[in-house]
């Protein structure tokens, strides 16, 4: 065989072996970390078995990209400098955040700043750090008391104050009952696992004692009302105690919450008139129930993934992708019922511009809420205090000019 033929065969075998033999990972790390001699430039592929070494030397001369870490080297694969996706080894949930960056701590509330440490778990249990629930419970009471006022006069300020305090106590009692019954569910849900019972800060026995104190104070307020209101108010306790169980049996616990949270629409009128006027109060109560279905369905979308895991039900799961159509319908029913109640109560013309503004606020919630975003659902839910304030303002000015 001719010498040049033998040389070509040997060169081909060397090239084949160079392509087949991988560099071990320790050798690769040492090549990247050690200084390398200059290699002569070449414009054609290097047929020698050390081609891999020279390619790595060339990479070593280039300044490393800050996003490249040693963990991104797997075997002989090096991620390019323009690679923008998060590495599967990254501890960050987002590629725009540096790995290992801690999530920001929640802002301190007035409870954290001013309530003594021993009493803080009880304040958290009563949700004193989250007053939106108290507002949502108080507004139907304020609506009813103001509608029942004498035309041309301000509503009974003492009654407004009593029902305001009652809303704080009843809301706290309802949250205590809810957390007692749901403590085995709350510790499996991301949003609720830090609640006092779920986290073990308070024992059920301590919770029962706190509940007794709240109910005793609530009884003190109820006894200041007339007999008709006392009976009507006491009858709401069945709703308060049974509501937390509804999510286990029906996809409509939000409707049951509406029956509970808007009982003040009946009680406020009864506290002033010692009776009920169905033509005024039933549409007002219906409006409150429909309103609750809107805001609490939005609220329930924060927990829908966790609810599926633990097996509890909600209108968020029942409505699914049709949620906006459902809550849009309930919103329209709420505004229609408020208009009927105001008309039957002979409220003056200022009531209706405020009602239009309230309808716009409710429409904004329904049309713009991002049901896949927990933060946006919570923001829209909290904004309902302004809906209640707009309706109250309309009733107040409507009654003053009627």
Tokens of 297: 């369905």
Q: What pLDDT is attached to residue 244?
A: 85
Summarised one tens digit per residue, pLDDT across range 66-100 is 433 433 333 333 333 332 333 322 333 333 333 33
Q: Which residues have a Cβ under 8 Å from the Cβ of 5 and sit 6 or more positions away? A: none
Domain spans in the chain, listed from the N-terminal domain onward: 111-401
Per DSSP, 71 falls in state G
The full DSSP string for 336-380 is HHHHHHHHHTT--TTHHHHHHHHHHHHHHHHHH--TT-HHHHHHH
Residue 254's pLDDT band (cuts 50, 70, 90)? very high
Per DSSP, 101 falls in state P
State the Cα–Cα distance between residues 287 and 60, nearest whole angstrom: 71
State the Cα–Cα distance between residues 43 and 315, nearest whole angstrom: 68
The full DSSP string for 97-161 is S-TTPPPPPPPP-HHHHHS-TTTHHHHHHTTTT-THHHHHHHHHHHHHHHHTSPTTS---HHHHH
Per DSSP, 65 falls in state P
Summarised one tens digit per residue, pLDDT across range 220-233 is 999 999 999 999 99
Q: Which residues pair with 74 in a beta bridge?
A: 77
Which of 28-42, 189-203, 321-335 has the lowest average pLDDT?
28-42
State the Cα–Cα distance between residues 74 and 58, nearest whole angstrom: 18
State the Cα–Cα distance between residues 222 and 166, nearest whole angstrom: 8
Query: What number is the average pLDDT over the span 250-268?
Result: 95
Q: What pLDDT is attached to residue 340?
A: 98
Write down the pTM of the prediction.
Answer: 0.72
Query: What number is the average pLDDT over the span 128-134?
Result: 92
Does the domain formed by 111-401 have CATH 1.10.357.140?
Answer: yes
Are 289 and 265 in contact, with CB atoms under 8 Å apart?
A: no
State the Cα–Cα distance between residues 232 and 267, nearest whole angstrom: 7
Which of 188-202, 254-268, 375-389 has the lowest average pLDDT?
188-202
Are 151 and 397 in contact, with CB atoms under 8 Å apart?
A: no
């Amino acid at each position: 065989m001719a010498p040049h033929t033998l040389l070509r065969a040997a060169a081909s075998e060397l090239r084949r072996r160079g392509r087949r033999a991988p560099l071990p990972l320790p050798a690769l790390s040492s090549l990247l970390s050690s200084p390398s001699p200059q290699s002569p430039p070449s414009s054609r592929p290097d047929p020698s078995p050390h081609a891999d070494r020279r390619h790595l030397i060339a990479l070593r001369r280039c300044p490393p990209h800050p996003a490249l870490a040693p963990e991104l080297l797997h075997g002989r694969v090096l991620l390019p400098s323009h690679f923008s996706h998060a590495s599967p080894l990254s501890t960050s949930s987002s590629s725009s955040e540096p790995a290992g960056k801690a999530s920001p701590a929640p802002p301190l509330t007035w409870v954290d700043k001013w309530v003594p440490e021993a009493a803080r778990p009880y304040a958290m249990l009563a949700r004193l750090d989250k007053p939106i629930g108290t507002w949502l419970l108080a507004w139907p009471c304020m609506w009813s008391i103001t509608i029942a006022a004498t035309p041309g006069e301000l509503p009974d300020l003492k009654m407004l104050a009593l029902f305001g305090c009652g809303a704080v106590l009843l809301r706290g009692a309802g949250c205590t009952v809810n957390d007692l019954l749901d403590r085995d569910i709350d510790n499996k849900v991301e949003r609720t696992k830090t609640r006092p019972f779920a986290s073990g800060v308070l024992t059920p026995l301590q919770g029962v004692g706190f509940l007794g104190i709240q109910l005793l104070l609530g009884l003190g307020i109820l006894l200041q009302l007339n007999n008709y209101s006392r009976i009507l108010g006491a009858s709401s306790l069945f709703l308060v105690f049974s509501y937390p169980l509804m999510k286990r049996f029906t996809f409509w616990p939000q409707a049951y919450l509406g029956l509970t949270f808007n009982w003040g629409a009946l009680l406020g009128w009864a506290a002033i008139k010692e009776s009920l006027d169905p033509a005024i109060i039933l549409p007002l109560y219906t409006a409150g129930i429909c309103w609750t279905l809107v805001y609490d369905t939005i609220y329930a979308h924060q927990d829908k993934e966790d609810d599926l895991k633990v097996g509890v039900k909600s209108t968020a799961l029942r409505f699914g992708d049709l949620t906006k159509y459902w809550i849009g319908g309930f919103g329209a029913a709420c505004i229609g019922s408020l208009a009927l109640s105001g008309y039957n109560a002979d409220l003056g013309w200022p009531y209706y511009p405020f009602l239009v503004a309230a309808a716009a606020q409710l429409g904004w919630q329904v049309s713009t809420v991002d049901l896949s975003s927990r933060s946006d659902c919570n923001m829209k839910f909290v904004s309902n205090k302004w809906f209640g304030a707009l309706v109250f303002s309309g009733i107040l000015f409507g009654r003053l000019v009627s």
